[in-house]
Chains A and B, each alone.
Chain A
Amino acid sequence: MQALHILAIGRNPEIMAVIDRLLNTPENRTGTTVTTDEEARAAFQNTTFDLVLLCVGISEQEGAALTTQLLQLQPGVPVIRHYGGGSGLLDNEIQAALAK
């Protein structure tokens, strides 16, 4: 089974460090976490992602603009909102996105 590549974008570095650990814990999943839009765009130049998690602290306007840019780099990649800061809902949201 191929590993799932997930990019998570948030603004709080300490929380993103925890999300990074959680994303990379299962064997069949790899996670990349970034705190700026520039880093997100750069990550897309090097890796093909299966899913993008946009932390809900990023405003709707910023999130929409970034989503448009990321979809230009990799059309069709699912971009979803992540709620709660890494705890409890992370695996749930990934499961829901992949079920679609």
Chain B
Amino acid sequence: MATHTLHTAATRGHADHGWLSSHQTFSFAGYYNPERVHFGALRVLNDDVVAGGKGFGSHPHDNMEIISIPLEGQLEHKDNLGHTQAIHQGDIQIMSTGSGVFHSEYNGHPTKAVKFLQIWVFPNKLNVTPRYDQITLNPADRHNTLQQIISPNPDDAGTWLYQDAWFHLGRFDAGFATTYNLKKQGNGVYVFVIKGSFTVDGQTLAERDGLGITGTDNIAITANSADAELLIMEVPMQIN
């Protein structure tokens, strides 16, 4: 029988630093909630808004898979691996930080805010050579279907990461229904509503709500509003 863990939008942690407004589904920085530390290998899900011209200065990471999904605006990425690139709405950025990487992320627009999701996943392999990748997706390819954006396999659709994790985006018309079939036995699924409302495995979800589901092989999804968008993150529930 499936087990649900519901995190409604209003119950997330929130940090307002002026230049950065961050809503945090899981404990992060100054927000600590022992009941919300991770969902399996999914450790961080931050819903960030960065003011025009501002951003995160150079700082390090290691042994974490870090995914950024811009929802509005653009981020300018720079790292010590030699990458200087911008990511926009429709792009997916991934860093396998492995043995260590320093990077900065700035809003590329002087006045307009950038909105993006920052997601951290525990890797299944330690101290790999750090890797940076970004891809551009066609939003039309997720209309009334689930578009794979991340998988463990470099030859599969989307980009890839060092974990048995699969991410999909979907943008549905009101009333559109589909089923997500898990890729690997024992994995769990965390569903995050980007826009609109959905019914997921019988649970009604509003904008920015999150639902963790374990103990099932497939999940029924129905959009309850027009132009509704969601992110599905399938991750291992056991961390090595």
Q: Specify which of A18, A55, A84 lies most central, judged by the most chain B CB atoms within 10 Å of its CB.
A: A84
- Which of B34, B44, B60, B122 contacts A85, CB < 8 Å? B60
CB distance from B192 to the nearest CB of A (A): 18
Interfacial residues of chain A within 1-49, with CB under 8 A of chain B in the complex: 10, 12, 14-15, 18
Residue contact B34 to A96, C-beta cutoff 8 Å: yes
Residue contact B122 to A83, C-beta cutoff 8 Å: yes
Residue contact A89 to B28, C-beta cutoff 8 Å: yes
Q: A12 vs B127: C-alpha distance in the bound complex, in angstroms?
A: 10
CB distance from B34 to the nearest CB of A (A): 7
Residue contact B62 to A84, C-beta cutoff 8 Å: yes
Q: A26 vs B29: C-alpha distance in the bound complex, in angstroms?
A: 14
Size band of the interface chain A makes with B = 20 to 34
Q: Kindly list chain B residues whose C-beta atoms are within 8 Å of the C-beta of A15.
A: 60, 62, 100
Secondary structure at chain B's binding surface: helix, strand, loop or mixed? loop
Residue contact A86 to B59, C-beta cutoff 8 Å: yes
CB distance from A3 to the nearest CB of B (A): 20
Chain B interface residue count, CB cutoff 8 Å, equals 24
Interfacial residues of chain A within 49-75, with CB under 8 A of chain B in the complex: 55-57, 59
Residue contact A85 to B30, C-beta cutoff 8 Å: no
Secondary structure at chain A's binding surface: helix, strand, loop or mixed? loop
CB distance from B82 to the nearest CB of A (A): 16
Q: Is B2 an interface position by the 8 A CB rule?
A: no
- Given known contacts A56-B126, A88-B28, A99-B34, A83 and B64 CB-to-CB distance under 8 angstroms: yes
Q: A87 vs B28: C-alpha distance in the bound complex, in angstroms?
A: 10
- Which of A12, A84, A86, A95 contacts B120, CB < 8 Å? A84
Residue contact A96 to B37, C-beta cutoff 8 Å: yes
Residue contact B100 to A85, C-beta cutoff 8 Å: yes
Q: Specify which of A15, A59, A92, A96 lies most central, judged by the most chain B CB atoms within 10 Å of its CB.
A: A92
Residue contact B63 to A83, C-beta cutoff 8 Å: yes
Interfacial residues of chain B within 68-110, with CB under 8 A of chain A in the complex: 97, 99-100, 102
Q: A86 vs B102: C-alpha distance in the bound complex, in angstroms?
A: 11
Residue contact B32 to A85, C-beta cutoff 8 Å: no
Q: Kindly list chain A residues whose C-beta atoms are within 8 Å of the C-beta of B99.
A: 12, 57
Q: Kindly list chain A residues whose C-beta atoms are within 8 Å of the C-beta of B102.
A: 14
Q: A43 vs B31: C-alpha distance in the bound complex, in angstroms?
A: 31
Q: Kindly list chain B residues whose C-beta atoms are within 8 Å of the C-beta of A56.
A: 62-63, 126
**A-B CB proximity, top 6 nearest:** A85-B62, A12-B100, A85-B61, A15-B60, A95-B32, A85-B60
Question: Taking beta carbons and an 8 Å cutoff, which residues of A are in contact with B?
Answer: 10, 12, 14-15, 18, 55-57, 59, 83-89, 91-92, 95-96, 99
In the assembled complex, 16 residue pairs joining A and B whose CB atoms fall closer than 8 Å, in A order, are A12-B60, A14-B102, A15-B100, A56-B62, A56-B63, A57-B62, A57-B127, A84-B64, A85-B64, A87-B59, A88-B120, A91-B29, A92-B29, A92-B37, A96-B27, A96-B32
